[in-house]
Amino acid sequence: MRFVTVRELRSRSADVWRRLAKEPEMVITSNGRPVAILSAVSPAGPEDSLAALRRARALGAVEAMQTQSAAAGRHRISQDAIEAEIVAVRKDRSR
């Protein structure tokens, strides 16, 4: 994966766009830190590219929640405790 600085993107944008055709993803950096990902649009169009990106972000968020839950010991909660929590939340919502 190619890294491109914000300065390079500003000053040599035509070159960056040409390289994007060969390398479908580039990481944009500012002060040495990644700040964005520049990604080529799929042949199907920007909607498909955005949908795929959103799915990947959602999967990453779910994995992070699962890791946090396991670290907090929540993976040991019994099915009965889970169902009791659901009932309590639903009861509270109906008020």
| pLDDT mean by block of 10 residues, the chain; 95 residues | 93 92 92 93 86 93 94 88 92 82
> In this structure, is the dihedral angle defined by the CA atoms of residues 37, 41, 42 and 48, taken in order, positive or negative?
positive
d(CA 39, CA 17): 10
CATH topology of domain 1-40: YefM-like fold (3.40.1620)
Q: What is the pLDDT of residue 21?
A: 84
Q: What is the pLDDT of residue 56?
A: 94
Residues constituting the chain: 95
Give domain limits for the chain: 1-40, 43-95
Q: What is the pLDDT of residue 80?
A: 93
Q: What is the pLDDT of residue 73?
A: 86
Q: What is the pLDDT of residue 94?
A: 76
Side chain identity at residue 9, one-letter code = L
